[in-house]
Structure 1
Amino acid sequence: MRLLTKTAHCVTALNKSPPVGGSRQFWGWLNAVFNKVDYERIKAVGPDRAASEWLLRCGAKVRFQGFDRWQHDYNGLPTGPLGRYKIQAIDATESCIMYRGFDHLDGLKHLEEIKFHRCIYIEDTCMERLSQIENLQASLHRVELVSCGNVTDKGVIALHHLRNLDHLFLSDLPGIKEKEKTVERLKTALPKLVVELDLL
């Protein structure tokens, strides 16, 4: 399956504001289509390949275990033996990933880092879902949340289930109203966690 670059990315990934009125609804619908989970595809190609396709389709980037280069071209995804390429890091900057697509993360066992920067669809339910994924509870070490206006204290606190999380960067999150209390709760649950705050 090949995708044309111009149609493979959501509106936000192209650094454009969603159009108003009916056009806004259209782009919202299209982004939801990009996030639809195809469970047969996951079975056919494995969780890492299927998650890579989802992420790149939505304008995010992935880095595979053992590689330094970020993969951002859907049509350039590497081929090879099933299960050879394991996702180690995700950069979802300005992507259109949303809650309905998070089932793609269920089978990832090597994901150590994820960045959510300027993601208009990321909200508390996404953080709660992320923290409930058993594989990620063990593998995730670093999470960055920057300029995601729909994330509140509730969503950040949910990350305490990621028992191996050791670095959390929070910046430009207007939904965070009780930062000291929120950080204290995280640090109580995860004593080794380093929290960087830039919430001015």
Structure 2
Amino acid sequence: MNKIEALVAARIGVFAALYVVLSLIPISVFIGAPSFLAVNLIITPVIAILLSPFEAFLASLFGGVIAFYVAPFQAMFGPFTILLPIAGAAFGSLAYHKGKTGALVTTSFLLVAISAYLVKNFPFPYFVVPHSLAILVAVAFSFRKMTPLSLKVPFYAFVSTMCEQGMMMIFAVHLLGLPWAAFVGILPLMIYERLIGTVGAALLALALIKIISSHSFKAE
């Protein structure tokens, strides 16, 4: 294994471990199943921003699989819960790192998630407003070339966390069969959780970027 491969493996391992550790700290109840959402939701966008799509996929896959066994209380969809961080990290990373192509793939997923919700829960369409905003952000920022990191990172953290929520929404509707009335009560919790995911991830990602940049500068 050369130095580059070792660095890639280390990045994947570190962020997978962070996801697992933070999965042990609940922050919100999940309506519809006896489980909780955990602080690990702030790591998913960080993975998306700091790792390439391939690395993000592997880190979220390993982290999700291990967390499923280490913290079963947060596995509200059983083994399908593993797909939540994968969706947030992989699609978020594609949007952040792959320009218009990545934005197209990510917005396509969000459109699928929105459609999957509305096909059964159209009486309460307001729940997918944040997901629609995430689509607008992903598309708009894909056309901006010189966006400051202090602005770019929070917006893409929002896109990533909404991709994770989009996968959760699909399972809540089609796996658990939650009716539209349940989402009236879920909406405030969802906004609270995604605010934590967006703000927490943005602060952590910006801090890590600063540390990495400083270390790279000193190494040179």
- TM-score where L is the length of structure 1: 0.30
- TM-score where L is the length of structure 2: 0.28
Richer in helix (by share): 2
Richer in strand (by share): 1
Q: Which has the higher contact order (CA 8 A, sep 6+)?
A: 2
